[in-house]
């Protein structure tokens, strides 16, 4: 099958029997639901750009499995150039959507599972690697969107999976059959889960022998029997339900999504199993996936940051303060921080290396440094954007007020006329344009898009402490101490 178009992708979702719940009720037509559709539009952009010759080099690539042209989001990285192009592609999509486009997690899962299954088979003679290659060929040939599902609820985090009062706090095997396994549990914070055709489930932590039943990785269709999603809330999300609220939404076309994905005795055939009890490889899969995903943030968050910097610059211009030295300096600092994140993404990619399986892995230390910076810099970028934009970002009347014909003034002025009068700005800039850019900034800094930019910068791909643990592990402090000893003339 050829690369899907954006419209074909949307229509393909309609063919799924995905079970989606929101506000305590089942959503029958979730594809067209106003709170969900913007996130579908984001994923659709990954298909649309792949059809555009201008972006072909970034968005498409030759498959290492079939030789066919595929979407880069389904690719196994074959070189450091591939790793770099991944980051560039993610920045481009962030610039085009100002939101989370959701396919990164699956792409990162593909590469982590590919190399890990190779090494499991090498040790145990299993067929997980062949299982995975067949699955990924199917994904590539059909240009599917696949969610990478890693984060378990975890319950009491001081206890291992096998020690939990409720075993479902981590996804686990409840029955092993000749033809497959039955699994239960859940995955939290699942970005793009509802918009995906398939899911890849992975362990979320390193495990011991007692946790064998929780050391499991597999693929299953999003509408598998026993699997359902509960949609996650976002700040200001119900604005999307308001009539004619395109301005107040801030980013009316695009958005992200997260959900709780529940597995209630889901059967997984043997051909879709990639890990089943080989507990000592759970940590490897987690570490490799986390490294790839922390690299991703050096692209996607930078692209979204580009749009926020542009919005802040427009807000300054609309307010008539774009020439003020303090404003210029704040914009320079925003650019500096954003490009530093990009540098980290490019650096960990350029220092990548070939795995035993043949695909390329990023430099884990630099990938974790990248994500550690992402937990900080977007917060400062947001602070500076809010500083430049001014308090109207959070005090502006609604879009309906600006259009209201309710008379309130002694001379017959309407609410709409009053709002447009007092929120007017420099000559040549309409009040509506000022509204739009301020709502866009609100959306990125405080609203629904903040989930995919500000807050996700903190918790996505692991919390800040998770990166610090990996930095400590990868930092090779002993070698640095030895360097100092040799130069200082210390012999012991």
Does residue 274 form part of some domain?
no
What is the rounded CA–CA span in Å between residue 428 and residue 401? Answer: 22
Q: For residue 258, indicate whether it is catalytic.
A: yes
**What proportion of the chain, given as a percentage, has pLDDT over 90?**
97
Q: Which of 220, 232, 214 has the alpha carbon at shortest distance from 155? A: 214
Active-site residue, from 46, 293, 344, 360:
293
Q: How far is CA 81 from its chain centroid?
A: 22
What are the tens digits of pLDDT across the range 94-116? 999 999 999 999 999 999 999 99
Does residue 43 form part of some domain?
no
At 337, which CATH number? 1.20.140.10
Look at the alpha carbons of 34, 39, 43, 49 in this order and tell me if their dihedral is positive or negative: positive
Lowest average pLDDT, out of 119-123, 169-173, 454-458, goes to: 454-458
What is the rounded CA–CA span in Å between residue 77 and residue 26? Answer: 39
Does residue 182 form part of some domain?
no
Q: For residue 47, indicate whether it is catalytic.
A: no
User: Given pLDDT bands bounded at 50, 70 and 90, which one contains residue 347?
Assistant: very high
Does residue 294 form part of some domain?
yes
Mean pLDDT over all residues of the chain? Answer: 97
- The residues that bridge with 262 in the sheet, in sequence order, are 186, 228
Q: What is the mean pLDDT of residues 184-205?
A: 97
What is the rounded CA–CA span in Å between residue 295 and residue 362? Answer: 8
Domain that holds residue 297: 285-481
| Total count of domains within the chain | 1
What is the rounded CA–CA span in Å between residue 43 and residue 96? Answer: 11
Does residue 372 form part of some domain?
yes
What are the tens digits of pLDDT across the range 384-405? 999 999 999 999 999 999 999 9
Does residue 325 form part of some domain?
yes
Active-site residue, from 297, 318, 342, 360:
297
Active-site residue, from 18, 42, 104, 453:
104
What are the tens digits of pLDDT across the range 137-163? 999 999 999 999 999 999 999 999 999
Q: How far is CA 267 from its chain centroid?
A: 27
What counts of helices (H) and strands (E) characterise the chain? Answer: 19, 14
What is the rounded CA–CA span in Å between residue 74 and residue 52? Answer: 17
What strands lie across the sheet with 227-231, from one edge to the other? 25-26, 20-22, 227-231, 259-269, 180-187, 172-177
What is the rounded CA–CA span in Å between residue 469 and residue 9? Answer: 39
Q: For residue 297, indicate whether it is catalytic.
A: yes
Does residue 394 form part of some domain?
yes
Q: For residue 119, indicate whether it is catalytic.
A: no
Active-site residue, from 191, 204, 307, 375:
191
3-class secondary-structure state, position 291: helix
pLDDT at 397: 97
Q: Half-sphere exposure (CA, 13 Å, Cβ side) for 363?
A: 17
Residue 191 counted as an annotated binding residue:
yes
Does residue 307 form part of some domain?
yes
pLDDT at 451: 82
- The residues that bridge with 177 in the sheet, in sequence order, are 180
pTM exceeding the 0.95 threshold for the entire prediction: yes
What are the tens digits of pLDDT across the range 39-95? 999 999 999 999 999 999 999 999 999 999 999 999 999 999 999 999 999 999 999
Q: For residue 293, indicate whether it is catalytic.
A: yes
What is the rounded CA–CA span in Å between residue 228 and residue 110? Answer: 22
3-class secondary-structure state, position 211: helix
Active-site residue, from 42, 300, 344, 445:
300
**Packed helices 464-474 and 364-374: angle between N→C axes, nearest 10 degrees:** 150
pLDDT at 1: 65
Q: For residue 427, indicate whether it is catalytic.
A: no
């Amino acid at each position: 099958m050829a690369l899907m178009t954006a419209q074909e992708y949307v229509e393909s979702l309609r063919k799924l029997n995905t079970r989606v719940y929101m506000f305590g009720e089942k959503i029958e037509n979730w594809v067209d639901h106003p709170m969900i559709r913007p996130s579908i539009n984001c994923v659709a952009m990954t298909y649309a750009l792949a059809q555009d010759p201008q972006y072909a080099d970034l968005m498409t690539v030759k498959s290492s499995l079939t030789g066919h042209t595929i979407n880069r989001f389904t690719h196994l990285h074959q070189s450091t150039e591939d790793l770099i192009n991944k980051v560039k592609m993610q920045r481009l999509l962030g610039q085009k959507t100002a939101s989370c486009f959701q396919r990164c997690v699956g792409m990162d899962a593909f590469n982590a599972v590919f190399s890990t299954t190779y090494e499991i088979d090498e040790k145990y003679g299993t067929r997980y690697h062949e299982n995975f290659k067949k699955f990924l060929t199917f994904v590539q040939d059909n240009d599917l969107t696949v969610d990478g599902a890693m984060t378990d609820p975890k319950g009491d985090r001081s206890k291992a999976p096998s020690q939990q009062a409720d075993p479902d706090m981590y996804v686990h095997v409840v029955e092993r059959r000749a033809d497959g396994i039955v699994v239960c549990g859940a995955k939290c914070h699942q970005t793009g889960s509802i918009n995906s055709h398939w899911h890849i489930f992975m362990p979320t932590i390193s495990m011991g022998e007692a946790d064998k039943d929780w050391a499991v990785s597999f693929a299953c269709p999003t509408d598998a029997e026993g699997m359902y999603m509960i949609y996650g809330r976002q700040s200001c999300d119900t604005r999307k339900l308001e009539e004619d609220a395109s301005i107040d939404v801030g980013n009316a076309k695009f958005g992200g999504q997260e959900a709780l994905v529940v597995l209630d005795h889901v059967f997984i055939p043997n051909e879709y199993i990639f890990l089943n009890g080989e507990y000592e490889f759970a940590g490897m899969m987690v570490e490799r996936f986390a490294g790839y995903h922390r690299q991703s943030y050096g692209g996607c968050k930078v692209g979204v940051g580009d749009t926020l910097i542009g919005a802040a610059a427009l807000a300054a211009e609309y307010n008539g303060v774009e020439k003020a030295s303090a404003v210029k300096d704040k914009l320079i600092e925003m650019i500096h921080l954003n490009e530093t994140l990009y540098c980290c993404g490019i650096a960990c990619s350029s220092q990548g290396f070939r795995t035993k399986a043949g695909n390329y892995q990023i430099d884990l230390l630099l990938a974790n440094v990248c994500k550690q910076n992402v937990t900080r810099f977007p917060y400062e970028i947001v602070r500076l954007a809010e500083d430049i934009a001014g308090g109207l970002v959070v005090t502006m009347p609604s879009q309906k007020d600006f259009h209201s014909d309710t008379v309130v003034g002694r001379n017959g002025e309407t609410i709409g006329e009053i709002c447009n009068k007092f929120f007017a700005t420099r000559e040549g800039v309409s009040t509506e344009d000022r509204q739009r850019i301020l709502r866009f900034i609100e959306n990125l800094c405080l609203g629904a898009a903040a989930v995919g930019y500000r807050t996700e910068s903190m918790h996505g791909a692991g919390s800040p402490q998770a990166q610090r643990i990996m930095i400590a592990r990868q930092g090779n402090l002993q070698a640095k101490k030895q360097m100092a000893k040799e130069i200082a003339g210390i012999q012991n």
